[in-house]
A = this chain, B = another copy of it.
Amino acid sequence: MDGTVPAGLLASVRERRPLVHHITNSVTINDCANITICTGAAPVMAEAPEEVAEMVAAAGALVLNIGTLSAVQVEAMLIAGRRANELGIPVVVDPVGAGATTFRTGTVQRLLEALDVAVLKGNAGEIGVLAGTGGSVRGVDSGGVAGDPVETARECARVTGTVVAMTGEVDIVVDGKRAYLVRNGDPAMDRLSGTGCMAASMVGAFAAVADDYAVSSAAALAAFGRAGERAAMAGARGPYSFRTALFDELAGLEPRDLAEHARIEEL
């Protein structure tokens, strides 16, 4: 994919500043709010069943993250998701820890059955579990998949009917037909809590200004990865300095830099 595509989407996010409604976990909720702002969009976190249908109606995208899910949160996700579907607002699901417990796996399956999900963004283990082809998840960390990652992602897309964005050293984005490999990023991003959640927020922000969610997901992951590359070049003293630099670099990321350095390959 030509770098001008992600660059154009990044410019659109900043111009239109879409509201990204999150129902998310309490571990990385602040990271998600700040990464959304640094991307150029506007975050709102709201999960009371009393208000989510009204809140999502003003949003450009809805991000559902099950990192610290509870029964009442699942109820709110279903209410918000149904309303988003009615209004044509894209829904992004981050199946944090699917495969680690029956409650998590079952909740994701319930969301996938009840809602028209635009993008399912997970790590390799989570996607493998949801594809039904075998994946290993320990806590919220991926233990990898049984077979070829691209085929696993394709199978997950086939089974779920969504765009699948599988993050890893190389990110893989597939829908029923196409497959993109995103080679941006830095290994230091794996040594932080929350980078997976942040990636989902960015996928939401980009989906809010796009029609093609496979393209917008690949673009979002390239932008996040490019910010990570620039943060690594800035010379952090450790993972927490790197984290600060990651937010700073994303906020300052120029579309023309992304146009030049995005590395998205279509298979």
Cross-chain contact A55 with B239 (CB below 8 angstroms): no
* Contact digits for A8-29, partner B, Cβ 8 Å, 1 yes 0 no: 0000000000010100011111
| A105: min CB distance to chain B, Å | 10
Which of A21, A69, A103 has the largest number of chain B CB atoms within 10 A?
Answer: A103
What are the residues of chain B within 8 A of A55 when measuring CB–CB?
100-101, 139
Residue of B nearest to A36 (CB): B193
Please tell me how many copies of the chain the complex holds. 3
- Given contacts A28-B30, A29-B27, A45-B27, whether A244 and B248 have CB atoms under 8 Å apart is no
Instruction: Name A236-260 residues within 8 Å CB distance of B.
Output: 236-241, 243-249, 251-252
Residue of B nearest to A72 (CB): B70
| Size of A's binding interface in residues, CB under 8 A | 62
Q: CA A33 – CA B246 in complex, angstroms? A: 18
A178 within 8 A of B: no
Cross-chain contact A58 with B138 (CB below 8 angstroms): yes
Cross-chain contact B139 with A51 (CB below 8 angstroms): no
Instruction: Name A43-69 residues within 8 Å CB distance of B.
Output: 43-48, 50-51, 54-55, 58-59, 67-69
Cross-chain contact B194 with A30 (CB below 8 angstroms): yes
Q: CA A194 – CA B106 in complex, angstroms? A: 33
| A233: min CB distance to chain B, Å | 12
What are the residues of chain B within 8 A of A38 when measuring CB–CB?
238-240
A90 within 8 A of B: no
- Given contacts A27-B33, A55-B100, A240-B247, whether A70 and B46 have CB atoms under 8 Å apart is no
Q: CA A263 – CA B213 in complex, angstroms? A: 49
Cross-chain contact A70 with B48 (CB below 8 angstroms): yes
Residue of B nearest to A104 (CB): B51
Cross-chain contact B139 with A192 (CB below 8 angstroms): no
Give 7 CB contacts A-B under 8 Å: A19-B139, A38-B240, A45-B68, A46-B68, A51-B104, A240-B246, A240-B247
